[in-house]
Amino acid sequence: MTAHAPETAPSPPARPASIDQRLARATATLCRDHPAHATTVRGVLAPLRDRLRRVHLDCQAAEAAAWAAYTADLDRGLDELAVEMARATQEPGGDVDAVLRHTATVLEQRAVELRKTRS
């Protein structure tokens, strides 16, 4: 999908915004790469972004190391989503909606786990 530049953990107020940006980039890339599925992509990833935003507001106090590990994991998950989307669109009967919903569920669960680590 994209190369992710190493970055230091953003300050707590910038954390939700950095995730919004990652999801916006992933959404734009998937819509560009799979225009026939753009509505489905937006229909799953926009609500995910909203749900993650609410969870991240509770993660303002998460330790920098936990946040950095979470965002690296999120980036890997979004990259894996791109691979799975490509696979689903090329396979006969590939279920793009199921791929998107599964990934959204996994990413949301990881955010909930981060919320549990807040200090």
- Cα Dmax for the chain: 47
For position 18, what pLDDT does the model report? 82
Predicted local distance difference test score (pLDDT) of residue 5? 47
Mean local confidence (pLDDT), 58-68: 79
The mean per-residue pLDDT over the stretch 3-7 comes to 49
Residues in the chain: 119
In tens, the pLDDT along 99-113 reads 999 999 999 998 888
CA torsion through residues 7, 108, 22, 30, sign? positive
Return the DSSP state at 10: P
- pTM comes to 0.78
Query: Which tens digits make up the pLDDT trace of 22-58?
Result: 999 999 999 999 999 999 999 999 999 988 888 877 7
Amino acid of residue 118: R
